[in-house]
């Protein structure tokens, strides 16, 4: 069985090793923080929250691999996508186990709660989706399913991410700051894929498109947030939209979505400027080699 930190040729990959080690850090930290009593008055509940947050972040990171490797012209990034996706599944299993522990391992109660509470039903559907992706993530399964069918199945990750964000929004009740950021980033990731598909590009989206997409995702996030405040608190739309232009109510989600997506665009510009012509040729060849089936 190939070691998780080796590349396809069986050589140690520093990138894979770094990511492999990094993926253990959040769960290990939560475990130690729990043991040392650093998780506040309701440590189990806090652990559920922390691991849930890392689950959603890992799903997003796995989805970001394709745009990032294209924008940064870094084809080898594909080597860590499977690892991050499998880690997301491991984290959701821990999240679910901790929830079961919080219900004193009463599986009947857990099942009833999942059936009755919509945010748990949605979370559980996302867990099942991740299980299907993890189960079909091996090289053997890719061969058995065939590249096209495998790709089609693994597009499920977008539906899973939507469910994950809804689960996050529903359980957060009043404080929608971070869920709104996640929703904005999800919009960017979905729109990137949609544009690639609509424009029929197998390579990557040109950087002006990426910048435009960043702006559009930020505007949509601002409108979404204003719409939420309008519906939930009858706040005037324009007043909420104006908060994006000042720091009076802290940094708004749309500004963070814009900062993250423009940072990626800027990194892409830097890479395009700095990359020497010869390397560009090698990167092009490597991309063609790594692109075909997955
Ligand atoms: C892919 C699937 C899932 C993801 C991405 C996910 C993610 C999250 C996130 C981000 C939070 C909020 C963290 C915070 O506010 O700090 C959360 C909370 C929570 N999740 Fe999940 N979750 C998933 C599946 C599940 C499942 C299957 C269950 C149980 C059946 C579950 C039970 C909970 C509970 C009980 C909370 C805390 C609710 C509260 O304190 O009111 N989640 N989850």
Hey, which of 54, 57, 123 would you mutate to test ligand 1's pocket, going by the most ligand atoms within 8 Å of its Cβ?
A: 123
Name the region of 68 (left: φ>0; alpha: ψ -120 to 50; beta: rest): alpha
pLDDT one-digit tens code per residue, 74-90: 989 999 999 999 999 99
Residue 7 has pLDDT above 90, yes or no: no
Residue 286 has pLDDT above 80, yes or no: no
Are 204 and 268 contacting, i.e. CB atoms less than 8 angstroms apart?
A: no
Residues 6+ apart with CB under 8 A from 39: 30, 33, 46, 47, 50
Cα of 192 to ligand 1 centre, how many Å?
Answer: 27
Q: Give the Cα separation of 246 and 161 in Å (integer).
A: 30
Are 171 and 119 contacting, i.e. CB atoms less than 8 angstroms apart?
A: yes
Other CB atoms within a 10 A radius of the CB of residue 4 amount to 15
Question: Mean pLDDT lowest for which of 95-99, 101-105, 154-158, 194-198?
Answer: 194-198
**Secondary structure E strands in the chain:** none
Q: Give the Cα separation of 91 and 112 in Å (integer).
A: 23
DSSP string, 11-34: -B-HHHHHHHHHHHHHHHHHHHHH
What pLDDT score was predicted for residue 71?
93
Residues with CB under 6 A from ligand 1: 45, 48-49, 52-53, 55-56, 92, 95-96, 99, 114, 120, 123-124, 126-127, 130, 164, 167-168, 171-172
Please give the mean pLDDT across all residues of the chain.
91
Rounded to an integer, the average pLDDT of 35-56 is 96
Atom of ligand 1 nearest to the CA of 164: 5
Query: What whole-number percentage of the chain has pLDDT above 70?
Result: 93
The pTM of the whole model exceeds 0.75 = yes
Looking at per-residue pLDDT, the higher value among 139 and 44 belongs to 44
Nearest CA owner, ligand 1 atom 37? 49
Binning pLDDT at 50, 70 and 90, where does residue 288 land? low
């Amino acid at each position: 069985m190939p070691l998780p930190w080796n590349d396809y040729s069986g050589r140690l990959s520093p990138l894979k090793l770094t990511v492999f080690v990094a993926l253990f850090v959040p769960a290990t930290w939560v475990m130690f923080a729990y043991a040392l009593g650093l998780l506040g008055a309701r440590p189990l509940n806090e652990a559920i929250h922390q691991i849930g947050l890392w689950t959603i972040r890992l799903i997003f990171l796995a989805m970001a691999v394709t745009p990032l490797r294209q924008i940064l012209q870094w084809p080898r990034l594909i080597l860590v996508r499977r690892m991050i996706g499998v880690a997301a599944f491991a984290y959701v299993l821990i999240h679910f186990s901790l929830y079961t522990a919080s219900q004193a391992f009463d599986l009947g109660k857990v099942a009833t709660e999942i059936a009755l509470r919509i945010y748990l039903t949605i979370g559980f559907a996302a867990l099942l989706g991740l299980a299907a992706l993890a189960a079909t993530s091996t090289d053997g399964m890719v061969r058995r399913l065939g590249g096209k069918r495998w790709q089609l199945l693994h597009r499920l990750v977008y539906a899973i991410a939507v469910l994950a964000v809804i689960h996050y929004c529903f359980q957060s009740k009043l404080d929608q700051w971070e869920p709104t950021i996640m929703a904005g980033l999800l919009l960017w990731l979905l729109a990137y894929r949609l544009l690639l598909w609509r424009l029929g590009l197998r390579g990557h989206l040109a950087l002006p498109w990426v910048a435009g997409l960043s702006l559009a995702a930020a505007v949509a996030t601002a409108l979404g947030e204003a719409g939420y405040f309008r519906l939930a608190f009858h706040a005037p739309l324009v007043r909420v939209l104006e908060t994006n232009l000042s720091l009076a109510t802290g940094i708004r989600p749309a500004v963070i979505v814009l900062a993250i997506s423009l940072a990626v665009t800027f990194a892409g510009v830097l890479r395009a400027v700095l990359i020497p012509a010869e390397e560009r040729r090698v990167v092009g060849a490597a991309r063609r080699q790594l692109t075909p089936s997955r």
